[in-house]
Amino acid sequence: MTMPLIGVPGRRASEANNVRGKAISSGRMYADAIHRAGGLPIVIPPSNDPDVIAATIQRCDGIVMPGGGDVNPTCYGHTENAELRGVNDFIDAFEIAAVRAALDLDLPILAICRGHQVLNVALGGTLIQHLDTTDDHRDTMHTVQMISGSLVALAMGTHEPFVHSFHHQAIEKLANDLTVVGTHHDGTIEAVQHVSKHWVIGVQWHPEDTAADDASQQGLFDALIQHVR
């Protein structure tokens, strides 16, 4: 049986261990979780060529959008009104194009933390640039209240998962094509799903961080593979 090919958009790095010169990087825990689910992860080199991005996404059976730095507010028509971290216009454009290409093909998408925010921005939504309750979300474990029967709840096998958060931004205006399926007790949008696509979800936390020991978090990656057509 052929293993589904799951694309993970990569990042440019000035250097990396055991690599001569500049590098392309991606988090290992995403790859490990995809492997455990029965998929074959592939790092997609960043590009500013829409034809190259589209052609690469067409070769994939599903996509995992990873965490990372803040999205430039210009991507959603706003100006900076809080301290931003790790903004990279090149990566913003690349990842938004990758999401849109995957949506056009109706590929399964698991969007994580920054990826969850990129998904919302790519579909016309906006972001809170700095949460007033950041201390409740920055490198903490907490519960999320999930809508029973939602794609995320079904994948995780629970409607109140215990998750690891590491973020200071969140969805503000929800894109029209998304619906909220999970929230934090402070009202922060923690999980979304697409209203019409086959299997497209976003989670504000980092399931890859605890997936090796938590079946509910690994369930998100398992469900991604199960929904590959």
Residues involved in catalysis: 113, 206, 208
CA 205, 208, 209, 215 dihedral sign is: positive
- Supply the pLDDT for residue 13: 80
pTM: 0.96
Question: In this model, does residue 96 exceed pLDDT 80?
Answer: yes
Helix or strand or coil: residue 2? coil
Tell me how far apart the alpha carbons of residues 178 and 192 are, in angstroms, rounded to a whole number.
Answer: 6
- Asked whether 6 and 40 are in contact (CB, 8 A), the reply is yes
End-to-end CA distance of the chain: 14
User: Each residue of 6-53: pLDDT tens digit?
Assistant: 999 999 887 677 777 788 889 999 999 999 999 999 999 999 999 999
Percentage of residues of the chain with pLDDT beyond 70: 99
| CA 185 vs CA 133, 142, 178, 190, 205: distances in Å | 11, 10, 20, 10, 14
pLDDT (average), residues 69-77:
98
Alpha-carbon torsion, ordered 101, 107, 112, 117, to 10 deg? 40
- Supply the pLDDT for residue 1: 61
pLDDT averaged over every residue in the chain = 96
**CATH for 5-226?**
3.40.50.880
